[in-house]
Structure 1
Amino acid sequence: MAERIFVFDTTLRDGEQSPGATMNIQEKVSMARQLETLGVDIIEAGFPAASQGDFEAVRAIAAAVGSAQVAGLCRAMPADIDRGWEAIKEAAYPRIHTFLATSDIHMKHKLRKTPEQVLEMADAAVRHAMRHTANVEFSAEDASRSDWGFLAKVCSVAVKAGATTLNIPDTVGYIQPHEYAELIAFLLKNVEGADKVVFSVHCHNDLGLAVANTLAAVRAGARQIEGTVLGIGERAGNVAIEEVVMAMHTRPDVYPYETNIKTEQIYPACRRLSQIIGQPIPPYKAIVGPNAFAHESGIHQDGVLKNRLTYEIMTPQSVGRSGTEMVIGKHSGSHAIKRKIEELGYSLDEQQLAVVFGAVKELADKKEQVFDEDVEALVLEKVYRRRDKYRLKDMSVFSATGGVPPHAAVVMEFVTPDGVETRRGSAFGEGPVDAIFKCIGRMVGMTPTLERYQVNAVTGGTDAQGAVTVRIADNGFKAVGRGTSEDVLVASAQAFITALNRLEKTKEEKRECPTL
């Protein structure tokens, strides 16, 4: 039988730390359930000690996930580890993941600790985690730039203290594939008790080598891979799980291993994440990009028509891209829409279904065709993106080519301790979007800096829904907001208000936890 490779997904932790990928609790739970459907073995739900919001999200994921292990990331500190355990203890299969830097540059400049002190901290951290659970993973941060001999000592200490998984991360995307393979082989030979633990690899993509490094490490003996859906993550991102899995799936002659991943769920998982974070899948993205199975060259088209194997090494169906059918329209009933939502992987209660049903019917009156992507966008917008303090009720925008500047009039609802208060405002701007943002900003009493404004079509056609993503900053705080509507200006207002709500929540969390 082929050897088993465990898949550790950190989309909800490392991936969510990347700019523009922030998710709220409902979105994280939705994504966690999709990851469970995908078949990942371990879901790293977050960093519980980072904020109260992160703690609540990890706890909610732990309660929602049934078959996958749920991991909480913790620094090698007792308070972090205890906080992490509180968040994951109700999971069916909880895991504490504690980390400590081991490279000279990190020990000297970040930790300001001696190697001897780091050895003591690693031992103490794992032993403390073992008080809560026997499922403990230890990560040697910046392992790829660490002294190999010292790294082996740290890993030996962690194993002796009780760790069952050792993660050897390429934290800054520095190592080369042949070096990584040699490092894993060295540790397997020199770590005391190496035969008792699973070696894991966590690769970043700063030099574009994350997939190559991960596969090289697997061939050398690593049996757990850590990565994210679509490769999202800090800086240049993490290894893309779908690329590693399909490389092994397509080339079993080179990689005689098996995973628990259901490859037909790869595209649905990538699409779900893309919808949640409001970032489209790049056209040339391997495995799942819009062009991954597209052929324009006449020679290629001719070959594919005769035999797909001439230019395709995998089928679209193998990764879940079987094509979508337009079966939803203005005459569709609630049962058809409910079934479509379930096919897309969402489980909604009757009240949520009623909200989405009304939104689908309203959209169907405005555009000729309603696609799967439209339905999914409405589910995410109406169910998983709650408006906290500010809500858009109505708006009107004027724009012309003459000398009259664009003008926006907005009606908003403000949730206060005494109830819901309706307010109205108006403003001129350099353009219609600028006028909307100025008007809303004045109404809420904030003038944040707009760092990013992006518009994407959810589907094709001139009647497609527009998905708008904005990133704003105010006094050192940043937030991302997304909005979806067949009217791009409405989507822009929704995105800006969502970002303002998140900015308010971030400030509140900082006031509640000033030391974090």
Structure 2
Amino acid sequence: MFNYKQYKRGYFMPPVECNDWVKKEYVDKAPIWCSVDLRDGNQALIEPMSLAEKLEFYKMLIKVGFKEIEIGFPAASETEYEFCRTLIENNMIPEDVTIQVLTQARPHIIKKTFEAVKGAPRAIIHVYNSTSLAQREQVFAKSKEEIKKIAIEGAKLLKELAEADGGNYLFEYSPESFTGTEPEYALEVCNAVIDQWQPTKDKKCIINLPVTVEMSLPHVYASQVEYMCKNMHNRENVIVSLHPHNDRGTGVADSELGLLAGADRIEGTLFGNGERTGNVDVITLAMNMYSHGVDPKLDLSDMPELAQTYEKLTQMTISDRHPYCGKLVFAAFSGSHQDAISKGMHYRIDHNPDLWTVPYLPINPEDVGRTYDSDVIRINSQSGKGGVAYVLERNFGMLIPKAMREDLGYAVKDVSDNAHKELAPEEVLEIFEKRYKKYTPNFKITEVHFKQEDGIQTAVTIEENGQSLTVNAAGKGRLDAVSNALAKHFNKPCNITVYEEHALKSGSGASAIAYVGIEGDDGKGYFGIGIDHDIIRASIDAVESAMNRSLDK
């Protein structure tokens, strides 16, 4: 049933070698962007947008920074026509924005299109006809000359109507199904159209090379584009545009390599919406440039709002793993990833505050409106000690000692594993405090007194099994004296191996937190914390919790 032999490669390589694009490292400047969300994207929806929805989407595109927007196929439906007229008659087209409309190379459709855009301050009339071998043979049953004539006649009519109207019009031509067209023939047709239009420096034309259906690896498309760019008539006055679809899942790669091959312009959609598997995703393409230090000339700084508006208006759903904008694309659950991110964030602060080089994060999530707190390090049963420590530091200002992290990490993993769920930062804090703060199932220290005499002398009152007993001991310092008192009373070691402290809040009412680790008689480490305005009291509470845990093993 899986009959791969029925398929053959339906694309054509250029007649000469075209691989200069290989020598370029990256896309070093933003292309001219043209959003086709309101035409190509809209016609791919199960329920196309209403007039009001299209207007809202149009305003969002302008806010993002698109200077060319294909608003529809006005000869195709009344809604499309009405939308076009609404924008023009209500002066809703900014001075620096050009609307674009699509039309087939058929006289009555072209004439209807000119009626729709009459009065526009500036408009691109985008005319197309299919040129591929498959379309010529199977759909139109026409020769190469007949197909070329359709393109030429359409180009002539555009020029005639524009001159008669006197409006400010630019022309665009697409050899539809370019990827299935012999490159020499596609070039012949495009040059014939260019010869009709005679573009100038002040009034360039656009030749669009659509990946109507992806048929090849991206490097093949790059070679086709380079061939066209090198052999196109009047190239200096022609804007070469790309319109990639995503049938093979390589629409972004097609675009990037096509730009390296000499293209100047990209037609695409937000989040890749479009027919079949979609159009090229402008957001991914633009953010790829951004991650290489190139200004994409689009404002994508509030990705959550863009995504929310898009989903509302199109009724489409953005995948949680969609590059740069999916809900989980910055999330790290893996312990090793979390540890690397945590260390990378600290390294950046200490060494490279002006450069972003954090492992596993190609861009700073904050640049697109995401947060570290809820979007980066997420805690579940796969998480590690570094991630847990990072969550407590980032959300609650707690700097967990390295020696304590493994014990805490396993405790958090166990809870997540048993509950089969992700844990929120507040739940991690709850586990942390329940395990280490005021953990007193065996005894409590109710009172402590110190005096300085041959070091530090202490009297520690211990409440155990409903009875109180005061134990006297000495030490080099206050905490050492308390730990010696506990060791003396329980006849078990209470050697402090870890001690760290820091303020939790600034100001006169600041609290301090102390972390204590002791080595039990089994050689294992046991930990406790204390939080108090008085650091001595916090330290005593911490050693009390650690000793309780040692006794409770």
Same-fold call, TM cutoff 0.5: yes
- Cα deviation, 1:164-223, whole Å, max 9, x if unaligned, reads 000001101213211111111111122222221011111111110101111010011011
Q: Is the 8 A contact 1:9 1:43 kept in 2?
A: yes
1:280 equivalent among 317, 320, 332:
317
Sort the Cα spacing of 1:107 and 1:151 in 2 relative to 1 into closer, same or farther, 3 A. same
> d(CA) in 1 for partners of 2:117 and 2:129?
20
SS of corresponding position for 1:199: strand
Aligned CA RMSD, in angstroms, stands at: 2.2
Match of 1:125 among 154, 165, 173: 154
Shift in Å, 1:267 = 4.5
User: Can you list the C-alpha shifts for 1:449-471, whole angstroms capped at 9, x where unaligned?
Assistant: xxxxxxxxxxxxxxxxxxxxxxx
Give 1:370-409 correspondences, 5 Å limit.
Answer: none
CA distance in 1 between counterparts of 2:363 and 2:302 reads 15
1:418-466 Cα offsets, whole Å, 9 max, x none, are: xxxxxxxxxxxxxxxxxxxxxxxxxxxxxxxxxxxxxxxxxxxxxxxxx
Structure 1 residue matching 2:249: 3-state secondary structure: coil
Structure 2 partner of 1:177: 218
Matched, 1:187 2:228: yes
The normalised TM-score by structure 1 is: 0.59
Match of 1:261?
A: 298
Counting only pairs closer than 5 Å after superposition, residues 196-345 of structure 1 correspond to structure 2 as 196-252=237-293, 258-308=295-345, 309-321=358-370
Aligned AA (1:109): Q
Greater radius of gyration (CA):
2
Q: Is the CA contact 1:37–1:265 (under 8 Å) kept in the aligned structure 2? A: no
Write the distance in 1 (CA, Å) between the matches of 2:362 and 2:337: 13
Is 1:148 aligned to residue 183 of structure 2? yes
Q: CA deviation at 1:243?
A: 0.6
115-124 vs 165-174, which deviates more?
A: 115-124
Task: Give the TM-score normalised by structure 2.
Answer: 0.55
Whether the aligned pair in 2 keeps the contact of 1:137 and 1:167 (CA below 8 Å) is yes
Matched residues in 1 for 2:29 and 2:284: separation?
19
Q: CA separation of 1:4/1:262 partners in 2, compared to 1, >3 Å: closer, same or farther? A: same
Identify which of 39, 47, 53 aligns with 1:13.
39
Offset at 1:10?
Answer: 0.6
1:52-71 pair list within 5 angstroms: 52-62=78-88, 63-66=91-94, 67-71=96-100
Which of 59, 62, 79 is the equivalent residue of 2:108? 79
2:364 alignment partner AA: T
**Residue 160 of structure 1, aligned match among 195, 218, 242:** 195
Q: CA deviation at 1:322?
A: 5.6
Contact 1:41 1:260 in 2 (8 A): no
Cα shift readout 1:210-245 (whole Å, capped 9, x = no counterpart): 011110100110110111111011111111000111
| Letter in structure 2 aligned against 1:101 | S
Supply the distance in 1 between the matched residues of 2:260 and 2:279 (Cα, whole angstroms): 19
Q: Distance in 1 between matches of 2:57 and 2:116?
A: 18
Task: Name structure 1 gaps, 5 residues minimum.
Answer: 326-516
Q: Is the 8 A contact 2:122 2:169 kept in 1?
A: no
* 1:316 shift after superposition: 2.1
Structure 2: distance between partners of 1:128 and 1:203 = 27
Contact 2:74–2:101, Cα closer than 8 Å, also in 1: yes
8 Å contact 1:48–1:72 — kept in the other structure?
Answer: yes
Name the amino acid aligned to 2:328.
N
Query: Structure 1 residues 201-210 or 109-118, which shifts more?
Result: 109-118
CA distance in 1, matches of 2:371, 2:122: 33
Moved over 4 A (4+): 1-4, 322-325
**Cα pair distance change 1:59/1:108, threshold 3 Å:** farther
Residues 435-474 of structure 1 mapped to structure 2, 5 A cutoff: none
